[in-house]
Structure 1
Amino acid sequence: MSAKKIKAQMRVFQEMESQLLMQADRVGVRDDFMPSRLKEMEYDSLKKHILSFYAERSNLEYEMQMFGVDKKEVLIKMEKLEVYIRRAERLRELYDKYFQKSSEKQNKDKSIIEKSISKNKISVSIGDD
């Protein structure tokens, strides 16, 4: 695919995403479509695809061993499938890094808030003077 086609597709997807967010805002479910939630949904679907790739690879191996089908054809399919699996695994690693960075940022923000709260405590003693 050429770079122009990829950019054009990305623009279409971005427009669809913005329209989806606008519709979600009108319906009142915008929180379900926040960028972090969308990333989580993408990650979940990626994991499902990876599982289906591995299942397909197992089926091809079984087919090749048990039925003695044309091994050349099955090997070509397995090579293509391995490419898809490697791409999906790399993408999963990127998502893992993204989630790790976002959780580190949240933990950092949380610790900053806790420090500021602990500094601003007011001590009040109630009782006999």
Structure 2
Amino acid sequence: MKKLFTISSIFMLLLFSQNTTAQEKQTIKSFTFKSDKSKKNVEEKTTIYEGNVMMKDENISFENAEKVIYDPENGTYTIYHPKNFKILAAKSVHKTGKREDSHVIIYNYKEESVTF
């Protein structure tokens, strides 16, 4: 009985030590962003970037957009007239079907979704 208790104790000790010393895999997200000028709207809590706006992250990339409005509360980037827009990865892609918004793309980085 004592031998069974000792073996069980050693097994449990090894099991718990493996879980406590295991390292969690950390992912480092790359993010590149630039624009000619930026303006912060304090009332709406948004930032407006204008002129040759370029962005690249793990989900999307584009260059030479006329304007991008960043809304951190909703987790969105509203992108106006981007060039070379690419979806690298997304959980969902939606199309609104409205012709007047044909050059506006909304990227939600919290939900990893893109809306045209």
TM-score (norm. length: structure 2): 0.28
Select the structure of larger CA radius of gyration: 1
Choose between structure 1 and 2: higher helix proportion. Answer: 1
Choose between structure 1 and 2: higher strand proportion. Answer: 2
TM-score (norm. length: structure 1): 0.26
